[in-house]
Structure 1
Amino acid sequence: MLLNNKTLLITGVLTDSSIAFHVARLAQEQGAKVILTSFGRTTRITSAIARRLPEPVEIVELDVSNKEHLDTLADRLREHTDKVDGVLHSIGFAPQGAFHFMDAEWEDVSTAVHISAYSLKALAKAALPLMDRGGSIVGLTFDATFAWPIYDWMGVAKSAFESTNRYLARDVGPMGIRSNLVAAGPISTTAANSIPEFGQFAKWGEHAPLGWDVQDPVPAAQASVALLSDWFPATTGEIVHVDGGFHATGF
């Protein structure tokens, strides 16, 4: 199987409609051991959703803005595994004020950049003590090439996220570890639905050569699983678009 004998650390499982949930599901079906992260009040939600996976999972506490959580992550993971072969970064947050570009205050913008961009480096560094050659880090992004009409500072944070991926790929590459992103088309997830006027993306499929279903997170999950496997051994610093081809044609 594609991920046989691998152990994956997966963040961001909050609903069974999320890309992260389907990465966890597919990974288990492909032979991987899966460990999830959650924190605070969301842990109960993650625990409930995790019961819908094919196999039981462990859940470790991780708030990527909490230095203590990051500094102790490797030791806490060792209670469940002696290695981590892959990490899925499915984390993003911006306060509502960050979705008003000209009126946004730095406090809101800095939160968006911290949680949605810097955390890629922070999570990778925290997991590295358990990673070895052949390891893979995969993050989920939304194409930051354009100034989307409703994305505002979250779009800026995604630009920083994509740049962070390139620098991370540079620094972990000599360790034999890859870092790549999957740029998914709009998916109707909890995070997406918190974005004002997200419904504007409902017609994405009309402009995508292959079409696009905002209710279907599986294609993006499949791409993530492929990048977490050994089938892309010489690919790093890349952004794989899974958006029905929209990025190639635009509006």
Structure 2
Amino acid sequence: MGSLLLGKRILVTGVITDASIAFHAARLAQEEGAEVVLTGYGRLSLVERVANRLPKPAPVIELDVTDAEHLAALPARVREHVDGLDGVVHSIAFGPAGVLGGNFLTAEWADVATALQVSAYSFKSLATACLPLLEGGGAMVGLDFDAGVAWPSYDWMGVAKAALEATSRYLARELGPRDIRFNLVAAGPIRTVAAKSIPGFAGFERIWDERSPLRWDLRDPEPAARAVVALLSDWFPKTTGEIVHVDGGVHAVGA
């Protein structure tokens, strides 16, 4: 066992399967000495089964980040397992089918609003809900997909990721005085459950095959998970409002 997160208490959201970046971030956090609590929504029995595959089974709390009652109850629910938090992983995103797959010009506002609330505004909602647990400061890390360019088929989810990036910067500004850091990991495409729901995902595979300076493995979420764990650690004490790209270098090169 390592010691990068020794003694730290970490909340990890968005674990659905053991193929996800969030799962591997939770696993690595435990292996580096952290006490981990998970949240899930909807299919809690599935999340609980996945939680049992971690090196140490982790408790699971139900959390709908769009539900004010769930958010208000979160500090008490977390304190049933740990006495506070040192870090939070935001791995929550969702967009109805109508906001993806070439529907940028035809997407309905109701669907766009859902994508923005769940994928971007929830970063702020989770941060403020966790404030009573982060009394000694800490780090919050979100999972991103580079919003610096427009991607084929990604449409309004790309806009939601751009909103997430802006939200992270504003949180860094607002809550830096409380010694809370906010950073994002912009990961390359990984074959997760969420990725499979994106129409045209195969196009991303081709882009990374053609452009990635470092060989990219769509089946390996660990590089992104390692970046998450590093940003949760004390090795980045003065880094906030940052986007760390873990994409094989695609963001840095042209066609």
The two structures have a TM-score, normalised by structure 1, of 0.98
Equivalent pair of 1:134/1:230 in contact (CA under 8 Å)? no
Distance 1:178 1:109 in 2: 28
Unpaired segments of 5 or more residues in structure 1? none
Is 1:15–2:1 an aligned residue pair? no
| Cα deviation, residue 218, structure 1 | 0.3
Q: Give aligned-pair identity as a percent.
A: 62
In the alignment, the residues of structure 2 paired with residue 142 and residue 96 of structure 1 have an alpha-carbon distance, to the nearest angstrom, of 18
Q: Quick one: distance in 2 between partners of 1:216 and 1:109? A: 30
* 2:173 matched residue in structure 1: 170
Counterpart position of 1:239 = 243
RMSD: 0.8
Q: State whether residues 51 and 59 of structure 2, in contact with CA within 8 Å, keep that contact through their aligned partners in structure 1.
A: no
Distance (Å, rounded) in 2 between the aligned partners of 1:6 and 1:225 = 11
**Structure 2 match to 1:52:** 53
Runs of 4+ in structure 1 displaced over 6 angstroms? Answer: none
Q: Which amino acid aligns with 1:55?
A: K
Instruction: Find the aligned partners of 1:36 and 1:122 in 2 and give their Cα distance.
Output: 17
Within 1, Cα distance between the matches of 2:135 and 2:20?
28
The question of 1:97 aligning with 2:101 is answered: no
Partner of 1:61: 62
Q: Number of residue pairs matched?
A: 250
1:44-193 correspondence to structure 2 within 5 Å:
44-99=45-100, 100-193=103-196
Q: Deviations over 1:151-182 (max 9, x none)?
A: 00000000000000000000110000100000
Structure 2 gap segments, 5+ residues each: none
SS at match of 1:94: coil
- Contact 1:112/1:153, CA 8 A, preserved across alignment: yes
Task: State the AA in 2 paired with 1:178.
Answer: R
For residue 206 of structure 1, report the CA deviation from its aligned partner: 2.6
Determine the C-alpha separation between the residues in 1 that align with 2:143 and 2:40: 17
Alignment deviations for residues 195-228 of structure 1 (CA, whole Å, 9 cap, x no partner): 1011111120331111211111000000000000
Look up the SS of the partner of 1:239 in the other structure. strand
Cα deviation for residue 134 of structure 1 reads: 4.1
2:19 partner SS: coil
- Normalised by the size of structure 2, how large is the TM-score? 0.96
